[in-house]
Structure 1
Amino acid sequence: MSRCVFVGIDWAYRSHAVCVIDRSGSELKSLQVSHDQAGLSELLRFLRSFGKALPVAIERPSGLLIDLLVEAGHQVFAIHPNAVKASRPRYRSSNAKSDASDAFMLADLLRTDGHRWQPLQPQSAHIRGLRALVRTRDDLVGSRIRLANQLTALLDSYWPGATVIFAAVDSPIGLAFIERWPAPRKLSARQIDAFCKRQGYSGKRPAAVLLQRLEAAAVSPCEPALAQAHAVAALALVAVLKPLLVQIKALERQIEAAMQQLPQAASIMSLPRAGCICAAQILAELGDVPQRFPTPERLAAEAGVVPVTYESGKSRSVAFRWACNHRLRRAITCLADNSRLTSPWAASVYHAARKRGCDHPHAVRILARAWSRVIWRIWTDGSTYNPALHTSAMIQNIEEG
């Protein structure tokens, strides 16, 4: 039979501090384990000596250690780092900090305030796989954007025309153009037309128009030797960007295949202008455990699409919500921004917010908050989006927007 104990784990990259306390808050035993097979096995054996299904507090909501604890049957409570930081003055007057003391504090917070948190629910293997694919793809897209900005800044310093001849400098044809002509030179419409045919260009812009874009750009007074050095640097960036684009496309194909294995995918993809990738980004963060968000308000707060209110006496202020799932916020606001282009209701919520003086990001968050209620409903009951079935919710969202 399990003893009434509480466990706190201070996670670190190479090792973890573990502390076990009893119901009175007295420390029973502490341990330091390494983040490897031997250390994690030792941790599980250590916890088994106190019983099964132990309540465990930790600051991380996901990762290998979390998966091992959940699969071992323990109740894992993810406590936000802000809550941990704000609780430190309860235990010491100085700003001193150690892994062992943080592990004790986590265990004691779980003992005194455990009713405030919900234990993590194990997600299915399909959801965890989708999350790995989506997050990796998002990180690679971020790398692509940074490299493309770096390449644009470099080209602007010695050949600005190469950045404007095509729609995007990091498009396959844009990179091929830089690879073919990395240094400034005089080109003819015939040369550009032949290049576009070899690349299978489908931009529907004749070579004469592309040449006009190239020639209308500013001319850099860069010396030939300096231009050659810049060209070498540009080719290096192109060499990194090209395989990066290939891997992003490969991940997107894997994401599309993974979405076909999830029953909840049809619900999220039924939203206006959701698309497979955006729907996958939302579903990867929502998961497939409806108990995780018992109310739509909880989902909206987790997604960071509702502000934080500070109120004391006659003073009241509303501030941006920084503490949230940033990936989920990006996904839902992306959906909201796209939906206003085809959904009359979404467009009306957005434009009403703009008329009240909200800037674009704020108006999109207001629309995302409205969509979060609809997302919560179709995610929890497994239905697909149908405007006729959500009329009452839409009217409420418009009045509150």
Structure 2
Amino acid sequence: MLWRWPTTPIGEGNTGVQSSPRFFCGIDWADQLNDVAVVDRRGEVLARARISATPDGVRQLFRVLDGLRASHTHGRRQVPVAIETNQGLLVHALRARGQPVFQIPPSEVAGQRRRTSRAAKKSDSSDAELLAVMLRDRWGLLRELPAVSPDAAALTVLALAQYRAQRLREQLQARLRALLVQVHPVAARAWDGRDHGLRRAEARAVLAAGPTAAAAQRISVYRWEKILTGARLRLLEHEAYRLHELFAAPVLQLPAAIEAATAVEVRTLLAAFDDACRRADELTATLTGAFEAHPHAVTYLSFPGCGLLTGARLLAELGDDAHRFATAKGLRAYAGLAPLTWASGTVRQVTHRRICNRRLKMACHRWAFSALTHSLGARAFYDRRRAAGDSYAGALRRLAGRLLSGLHHCLAAGTVYDERIMFAPGRAAS
């Protein structure tokens, strides 16, 4: 992601990197040893080292950076560091000690390697040098990693873990449904039209008791009611009769040996799915609890359609660095909500951005969709965009951009959402 470099120095106090540093450092990240290369403004390599992600390795790197220039005005914090990742022990150690760190994606490094190297070769030391040179060439366009607080960084870790757990749960649910369609189709459709479908606790309890059609037919109404007791809170008898009638209908069945083997397969997959549901629920509770304890949660929750989980995901992707996004336009571009214009000669095309933070874009899409039923102003804005010719996705994207711009203003000003200001008549066409 390219950024305009601010005119003020980075860092804290007078320790930040000035607008034209003398030296540039590149670190090729690896599992065990990390290659380091330092170049000057002309691109000449001044120092090389190989460090480990340990306290001794960090001290070795700092000795290299401090020894670049014998002057009391030179310090290691005046040397920016380029690395391919924004996570890991080494990155956190450097940032905790005030070292300016810039991330350059591995895909860009690979593309630059292909353009600058005639031979198709790669080495860790040459990649470290390439990172330092790319940082020198792109100085003024790259931006330092945001200075988020430890609480916001922890929230980002929890949000990513919760997102992965949710994806795993969805994948296992799809696999379970596909298997049931083949061997137990009545159970696959038993909860269609109800919230969460097979993810419901009662659905998992029913499948555990009757994984095949023959096993489900043998269960009485009384036993169905007992099975539902721990998974359902109301209308137990009514649901027990519904399940009994549903599974009692004649269906095609497998041979006894194959059905016994199928029951084992269904129960094995169901156990993994049940565990994934519990893990995802636990991570969701932990994530929302950490979000509620953050000072910015009040601002996020004041917006219509922004619940605990949506607000937690937004905060996890945006962080709490007040100076990360200078304008709301830059924030919308980062989220993929600002239009992208392609103009060449007489051809001009306006489309939406595809290169963006996809998790943030997905959270904003759900936020805007939920705001339609929670805010009259949001609904009126969406209807105006649809009447103007926007598609469903385009109108929703514009609404998400408006909400994100309002969030940027509220966080910068330290205020909360106000419907009268957000969707004022004078702002309808802006």
Same fold (TM over 0.5): yes
Write the letter of the residue equivalent to 1:159. H
Moved more, 261-270 or 207-216: 207-216
Give the Cα separation in 1 of the matches to 2:152 and 2:244. 48
Give the Cα separation in 2 of the matches to 1:77 and 1:48. 19
Aligned counterpart, 1:91: 116
- 1:52 lines up with 2:76 in the alignment: yes
Aligned counterpart, 1:112: 137
Equivalent residue pairs, number: 397
Match of 1:322 among 354, 360, 384: 354
The change in CA–CA distance for 1:234 and 1:85 in structure 2 (over 3 A counts) is same
Give the Cα separation in 1 of the matches to 2:280 and 2:112. 42
Give the Cα separation in 2 of the matches to 1:219 and 1:350. 48
Deviation per CA, 1:204-235: give whole Å up to 9, x if none: 8644444555567x945533322222221111
Give the Cα separation in 2 of the matches to 1:201 and 1:320. 46
Gaps of 5+ in 1: none
Check the 8 A contact 2:102/2:145 in 1, yes or no. Answer: yes
Aligned counterpart, 1:146: 171
Q: What are the equivalent positions in structure 2 for 1:222-237 lying under 5 Å apart?
A: 222-237=254-269
Deviation per CA, 1:89-115: give whole Å up to 9, x if none: 653345544333332222122223211
Check the 8 A contact 1:303/1:326 in 2, yes or no. Answer: yes
- 1:291 lines up with 2:315 in the alignment: no
Q: What are the equivalent positions in structure 2 for 1:121-132 lying under 5 Å apart?
A: 121-132=146-157
Check the 8 A contact 1:269/1:279 in 2, yes or no. Answer: yes
Check the 8 A contact 1:123/1:289 in 2, yes or no. Answer: yes
- 1:399 lines up with 2:429 in the alignment: yes
Match of 2:27 among 1, 6, 9: 9
Give the Cα separation in 1 of the matches to 2:105 and 2:326. 19
Check the 8 A contact 1:59/1:81 in 2, yes or no. Answer: yes
Write the letter of the residue equivalent to 2:333. A
Give the Cα separation in 2 of the matches to 1:319 and 1:203. 51
Secondary structure in 1 aligned to 2:198? coil
Deviation at 1:80, TM superposition (A): 3.9
Give the Cα separation in 2 of the matches to 1:237 and 1:353. 45
Secondary structure in 2 aligned to 1:57? strand
Deviation at 1:40, TM superposition (A): 4.6
Match of 1:181 among 210, 218, 234: 210
Identity %: 29
Alignment RMSD, CA only? 2.9
Check the 8 A contact 2:334/2:357 in 1, yes or no. Answer: yes
Check the 8 A contact 1:161/1:215 in 2, yes or no. Answer: no
Deviation at 1:323, TM superposition (A): 2.3
Moved more, 154-163 or 99-108: 99-108
Aligned counterpart, 1:137: 162
Aligned counterpart, 1:169: 198
Check the 8 A contact 2:24/2:38 in 1, yes or no. Answer: yes
Aligned counterpart, 1:102: 127
Deviation at 1:150, TM superposition (A): 0.7
Give the Cα separation in 1 of the matches to 2:114 and 2:199. 50
The change in CA–CA distance for 1:351 and 1:203 in structure 2 (over 3 A counts) is farther
Give the Cα separation in 2 of the matches to 1:80 and 1:351. 39
Aligned counterpart, 1:30: 48
- 1:197 lines up with 2:245 in the alignment: no
Secondary structure in 1 aligned to 2:48? strand
Deviation at 1:373, TM superposition (A): 0.5
Q: What are the equivalent positions in structure 2 for 1:245-284 lying under 5 Å apart?
A: 245-284=277-316
Moved more, 305-314 or 199-208: 199-208
The change in CA–CA distance for 1:242 and 1:25 in structure 2 (over 3 A counts) is same
Give the Cα separation in 2 of the matches to 1:236 and 1:344. 48
Deviation at 1:310, TM superposition (A): 2.3
Gaps of 5+ in 2: 1-14, 69-74
Check the 8 A contact 1:165/1:211 in 2, yes or no. Answer: no
Give the Cα separation in 2 of the matches to 1:293 and 1:82. 24
Deviation per CA, 1:338-357: give whole Å up to 9, x if none: 11122122223334444566
Give the Cα separation in 2 of the matches to 1:213 and 1:273. 37
Structure 1 segments, 4+ long, off by >6 Å, are none
Check the 8 A contact 2:337/2:400 in 1, yes or no. Answer: yes
Aligned counterpart, 2:96: 71
Deviation per CA, 1:42-97: give whole Å up to 9, x if none: 43443343432121122323333221111122111223445445544653345544
Give the Cα separation in 2 of the matches to 1:349 and 1:15. 54
Give the Cα separation in 1 of the matches to 2:242 and 2:380. 38
Aligned counterpart, 1:303: 335
